[in-house]
A and B are shown apart, each in its own frame.
Chain A
Amino acid sequence: MTGGHPATGSTERAAGAGAGAGAGAEAGAGAEAGAGVGVGAGAGVGAGAGAGAGVGAGVGAAPGPGSRRTRTRSLPRTLLLHLGVPVAAVAAWQVAAEAHGSVFFPPPARIVAHAYDLWFSGPARRLFLTDDAVANLLPSIGRVLAGFALAALAGIVLGLLLGRSRTAYALCDPVLQFARAVPPPALVPVSVVFFDLGTSMQLAAIVFSAVWPVLINTADGVRGVEPLRLDVAAVLRMPLAARIRLLYLPSALPRIFAGLRLSLALSLILMVFSELLPGTADGIGFQLVDAQTRSDLLTVWAVLLFLGVLGHLLNTLLLALERLVHTAP
């Protein structure tokens, strides 16, 4: 599952997650989130357990940026390839849910309609956002973006420092291995101790978890710089700033983006998880727990749908950014 489409969740998986949206969801989707770089519905749902496995499995793999496929396929064929399965899955879900008629598994059309009523039926001057959306969606999006940005910045800077020094890397490697082996949500109680409940704690939880994949991948990428190019830089006596900008960063870029994709997935997971904690007053995770305690299954489903769309959207933006900055073959 790479970048799960919001609607690709099969009925089976969706059922597993929906049965106990609060606590039970952690176990169900965790394994899937750990398997790949997925930021889709799976990552959002598997707020609890997927995180640790995800880092471990993903750091080693450094998929090259967008492999250049020859674009020989016709447009209808391409559309069918990309949308065929999701459309069929949603249709099957719709039919099955309507036939079954359970209150726990509302048909997707009702979930979408509910999500629209809940969040996107506001006044035009506020971009159609409702009060509820402003109260819950925007803070969550703000947290995930700010947390991810901080983690990315810190990870790239520290990764550059570590990757350039053999000694520093050797010294820090055991700590890094340890830090990335700890399932990130387990660190949340630690950040609760250090920070007050609320946005600063939530940001800290996201940054402390999401920083490792970027850091480790950046350091590895910097260590993997072609030795001949280091000789060239030495012979040309390139200043350090030019070396970083023109040699280390471009060389490490594919690895950096591999790390960023993992970090983005973790940021989403930690955003939801930190909002599930008692003492939270707003956010998408808060809304999820709140709806669950009120047995408002339709809202629970709408939240899951929104998380899937958000994850997919952010991942797509990241991929677009990667294509934009990548010029070499």
Chain B
Amino acid sequence: MTAHMLHIDHLGHRYGVGPPVLADIQLTVPDGQLVTLVGPSGCGKSTLLRCVAGLTRPAEGRVTLDGEPVDRVPDRLGVVFQDYSRSLFPWLTVRDNVSLPLRRQGLGRARRHEEAALMLEQVGLAGTGKQHPWQLSGGMQQRVALARALAARPALLLMDEPFGALDAQTREDLEDLLLRLHREGGLTVLFVTHDIDESVYVGDRVVVLAPGPGHVRADLPVELPPVRDQIATRALPEFTELRAEVGRAVRPAGTATP
């Protein structure tokens, strides 16, 4: 049996006495896979991610990571949020932000800075360590947030619409950066997005979540070459076919509002 990094078992959730937001979610992510989770807003994507991160305790079902039940924030977890400017600490330098996960390991200052420099180099930000986040562009700030998540040497990387607030060019650069890190580092990633194109381009596998209450509507493998190119890959017939299939699953015929 192959290692199943992340296992979500009959997970359901509701906030207080409100209507259920997630119902009977069943999902397994094997080691080293990049799974994109796509769906319209309000389908419970972010809630699912919070349950996996141990930030929200699900009302029903359970999440296991490497066989361990997730009942609090697990070890070796990286999370990248959409809102980079509010997720970074503006009063700390870039390298102090990146080395935040290392504080718990009791590493000395010099070692932390060394490690931070290494992570910044990985995300293409070598030499920016002494600046403050607000001195950088939006795309660079999200790279800092990614470097911070990687500094924890995560077994699982969670990304909550990480590129949603960026302009098209920057977003493509960051998609390619993520793909390279995933390919070279064997990262296991759960990537939440509402962008159908992005879910297909980035993913090894696309999971479509539908609202009311959130449930898995489709689970589609992406059969595209592992090394992808923004222009060539998007022009492939397999890409357009899959994109259409995901699109139909996200917006079934008859539900689209004119």
18 examples of A-B residue contacts, CB within 8 angstroms:
A226-B86, A228-B86, A229-B87, A231-B81, A232-B81, A234-B55, A234-B73, A235-B78, A235-B79, A236-B148, A236-B152, A237-B73, A237-B75, A247-B89, A250-B91, A253-B91, A328-B134, A329-B134
Docked Cα-Cα span, A237 to B75, in Å, equals 8
Residues of A within 8 A of B55 (CB): 231, 234-235
Contacts A250-B91, A328-B134 given; indicate if A235 touches B103 (C-beta within 8 A): no
CA–CA, A228 and B77, complex, Å: 16
A246 touches B100 (CB 8 A): yes
The reply on A64 being an interface residue by CB < 8 A is: no
* B53 and chain A: residue at smallest CB distance: A235
List of B residues within 8 angstroms of A229 by Cβ: 86-87, 89
The count of residues in chain B whose C-beta lies closer than 8 Å to any C-beta of chain A is 23
Q: Tell me whether B83 is interfacial, beta carbon within 8 Å.
A: yes
The smallest beta-carbon distance between B95 and chain A, in angstroms, is 13
Q: Within 8 Å CB of A250, what residues of B?
A: 89, 91
A236-B101, A238-B104 given; 15 more Cβ-contact pairs under 8 Å: A228-B83, A229-B89, A231-B55, A231-B81, A234-B55, A234-B73, A235-B77, A235-B79, A236-B103, A236-B104, A237-B75, A237-B101, A250-B89, A328-B91, A328-B134
Query: Interface residues of A, CB < 8 Å — how many?
Result: 19
Distance of A237 Cα from B151 Cα, bound (Å): 13
A319 shortest CB reach to chain B, Å: 18
Encode contact with B along A233-263: 1 for CB under 8 Å, 0 otherwise: 0111111001000110010010000000000
Complex Cα–Cα for A226 and B91 (A): 13
Interface residues of B (CB under 8 A from A): 53, 55, 73, 75, 77-79, 81, 83, 86-87, 89-92, 100-101, 103-104, 132, 134, 148, 152
Q: Which 7 A-B pairs have the closest CB atoms?
A: A328-B90, A250-B91, A328-B91, A235-B79, A228-B86, A236-B101, A242-B103
Q: Which residues of A contact B (CB under 8 A)?
A: 226, 228-229, 231-232, 234-239, 242, 246-247, 250, 253, 327-329
Residue among B90, B91, B101, B104 with the highest chain A CB neighbour number at 10 A: B91
> Could you tell me if B73 and A235 are in contact, using CB atoms closer than 8 angstroms?
yes
Nearest B residue (CB) for A326: B91
The complex places the Cα of A250 from the Cα of B97 at a distance, in Å, of 14
Q: What separation, in Å, do the CA atoms of A237 and B76 have in the docked complex?
A: 10
- Please give, as numbers and ranges, the residues of chain A lying within 8 Å of B78 by CB-CB distance: 235
Residues on A with beta carbons closer than 8 Å to the beta carbon of B148: 236
Closest to A247 in B: B89
- State whether A237 touches B81 (Cβ < 8 A): no
Determine how close the nearest CB of chain B comes to the CB of A229; give it in whole angstroms: 7
CB-defined contacts of B101 to chain A, threshold 8 Å: 236-237
Closest Cβ of chain B to A135, distance in Å, is 44
- CB B56 to nearest CB in A, in angstroms, measures 10
Report chain B residues within 8 Å CB of A231.
55, 79, 81
Find the residue from A235, A253, A328, A329 having the highest chain B CB count within 10 A.
A235
Instruction: Write the chain B residue with the least CB distance to A226.
Output: B86
Kindly list chain A residues whose C-beta atoms are within 8 Å of the C-beta of B90: 328-329
Assembled-state Cα–Cα distance A247/B87 (Å):
11
Return chain B residues, CB-CB under 8 Å to A226. 86
Contact (Cβ within 8 A) A228 B81: yes
Structural contact, A328 and B132, CB atoms closer than 8 A: yes
**Which of A232, A246, A250, A253 has the most CB atoms of chain B within a 10 A radius of its CB?**
A232
